[in-house]
Amino acid sequence: MRKIIILFLPIFIFFSCKDPSATREISEENKQELQITKIGYAKGFDIEYFDGYEVITLKNPWPGTDKIFRYALIEENASRPTNQDFDAVVQLPIKKIVVTSTTHIPSLEMLGVTKTLKGFPNLDYISSEQTRKRISEGKIRELGKNEALNTEILIDLEPDAVIGFAVDGNNSTFNTIQKMGIPVIYNSDWTETSPLGKAEWIKFFGILFNKEREADSIFSEIESEYLSAKKIAANSTETPTVISGALYKDIWYMPQGESWGAQFIADANGNYLWKNSKGTGSISLNLEAVLEKGSTADYWIGPGQFTSLDKMKNSNSVYPQFLAFQKGNVYTYSLKKGETGGLLYYELAPNRPDLVLKDIIKILHPTLLENHQFYFFDKLN
């Protein structure tokens, strides 16, 4: 599981563009059958359709790089396109797959293709009951650590593709896997900064399994629920102030103003006190700066890994000085875990931003969504 500490709170290139003379136009017959997937929010990938194959272009595999990757997905009984070089070529539909981030698990489950998952690194991080059942039945193999996958087991599994992520492009294990003839496709859902942008990556998996229609339908429902909840929150006349994060080795980390965590608060009609900070990661602040600006905030959402107010107070005597602490308005996602300790939020929240938003609206505006029950968050006792 990738570890990115924010609010609620990753290869080889030959061509960055196609050779027009080498592509084949889609036949009129195929146009009638083809489900064209359109991307509206995600910034990290595009999809192009040709006769007998599709091409996924990955534009932001990890922060701070201008690398672009192109993957050819060949339809059943179709031939590989000639005169083009791709970073991976995959035969569709995928029947056996290895994924490497817990955020990939919900997409497989929602599309009904969990049975294709054969291996995963750090199985204990997976919290989903459905997938944990398959793990207990021995149907999903442990592959060690993401940075050093057990290549012997992985090769023995003979997956049609490995879905990886990278923080800097230096994962030598992926190079080894590719040399063994196993395609590696990067998924960079984690680099998206908008809640709906992250969720739209279900369409990435929809293409891999020839389930474009299902993926589009699932995302459309999530989008509709999210925008509807956002509209409800916008009608509130109150805009409570919010802080986030906690101290770690004398440094207070909280999300930057352009992060997806900050976006949730804005869409829930909350006033995140560091909303004007630039960047999509986390801010590093000293305690004095946080106290000066945030001590009177109405709510404290995402106080690190703390699971009770007593543990916060015992950790640092400064926490009770915050008004949100004094009023008991501290909310966490750290209490909802899978049977082996994996946090549900880390796994499912990027895929279901509608549920995250409703939780935060319920926190900031308790009367607006009276029938909503917290899915990810809990109030600290």
DSSP helix/strand/coil, 185: strand
DSSP helix/strand/coil, 358: helix
Q: What is the largest CA-CA distance in the chain?
A: 70
**Amino acid letter at 250?**
D
DSSP helix/strand/coil, 56: strand
Q: What is the DSSP string of 130-188?
A: HHHHHHHTT-SEE-EETTEE-HHHHHHH--SEEEE--SSS--HHHHHHHHTT--EEE--
The helix, strand and coil proportions of the chain, stated in percent and rounded to the nearest 5, come to: 35, 20, 45
Residue 15 domain flag? no
Residue 131 domain flag? yes
Do residue 135 and residue 50 come from a single domain?
yes
**Per the structure, how many domains does the chain have?**
2
Do residue 162 and residue 267 come from a single domain?
no
Q: Are 217 and 110 in contact (CB under 8 A)?
A: no
- Measured distance CA(108)–CA(26) in Å, rounded: 28
Q: CA distances (Å), 165 to each of 148, 190, 288, in order?
A: 13, 9, 37
| Nearest-10 crossing angle of helices 212-234, 353-364 | 10
Residue 231 domain flag? no
Do residue 118 and residue 196 come from a single domain?
yes
What is the pLDDT at residue 76? 85
The dihedrals phi and psi of 337, each to the nearest 5 degrees, come to -130, 155
**Amino acid letter at 360?**
I
Do residue 168 and residue 29 come from a single domain?
yes
Do residue 240 and residue 213 come from a single domain?
no
For residue 11, the 8-state DSSP code is -
User: Which domain-ending residue is among 163, 190, 222?
Assistant: 222
Domain extent, residue 91, equals 20-222
Residue 358 domain flag? yes
Residue with tokens 């905030």: 297
pLDDT tens sequence across 311-357: 999 999 999 999 999 999 999 999 999 999 999 999 999 999 999 99
Residue 171 domain flag? yes
Q: CA distances (Å), 187 to each of 58, 86, 180, 240, in order?
A: 8, 16, 20, 36
Alpha helices in 212-352 (DSSP H): 212-234, 260-267, 287-294, 309-315, 323-326, 344-348
153 membership: H or E segment, kind and range: helix 151-157
CA angle, residues 330, 335, 338, in degrees to nearest 5: 160
What is the pLDDT at residue 297? 97
DSSP helix/strand/coil, 49: strand
Do residue 328 and residue 368 come from a single domain?
yes
Do residue 244 and residue 209 come from a single domain?
no
- Measured distance CA(22)–CA(257) in Å, rounded: 44
pLDDT tens sequence across 35-71: 678 899 999 999 999 989 999 999 989 888 889 999 9
The dihedrals phi and psi of 380, each to the nearest 5 degrees, come to -70, 135
Residue 310 domain flag? yes
User: Which domain-ending residue is among 177, 194, 222?
Assistant: 222
Listed as ranges, residues in the chain with pLDDT below 50 are: 1-33
Do residue 256 and residue 210 come from a single domain?
no
For residue 195, cis peptide bond before it (omega within 30 degrees of 0): no
Distance between first and last Cα of the chain: 28
CA dihedral 217, 219, 220, 224 (to 10 degrees): 140
CA angle, residues 86, 91, 92, in degrees to nearest 5: 125
- Measured distance CA(372)–CA(359) in Å, rounded: 8
Do residue 213 and residue 241 come from a single domain?
no
What is the pLDDT at residue 80? 80
Specify which residues 141 forms β-bridges with.
119
Do residue 125 and residue 195 come from a single domain?
yes
User: Which domain-ending residue is among 222, 252, 285?
Assistant: 222
Q: Are 273 and 295 in contact (CB under 8 A)?
A: no
What is the pLDDT at residue 63? 84
Do residue 189 and residue 107 come from a single domain?
yes
What is the pLDDT at residue 35? 60
Query: What's the predicted TM-score (pTM) here?
Result: 0.88
Residue 4 domain flag? no
- Measured distance CA(61)–CA(63) in Å, rounded: 7
| Structure tokens that stand for 361 in this block | 């609206």
What is the pLDDT at residue 3? 42
**Amino acid letter at 157?**
L
CATH number, domain containing residue 86? 3.40.50.1980
Do residue 159 and residue 39 come from a single domain?
yes
| Structure tokens that stand for 174 in this block | 């992926």
Residue 13 domain flag? no
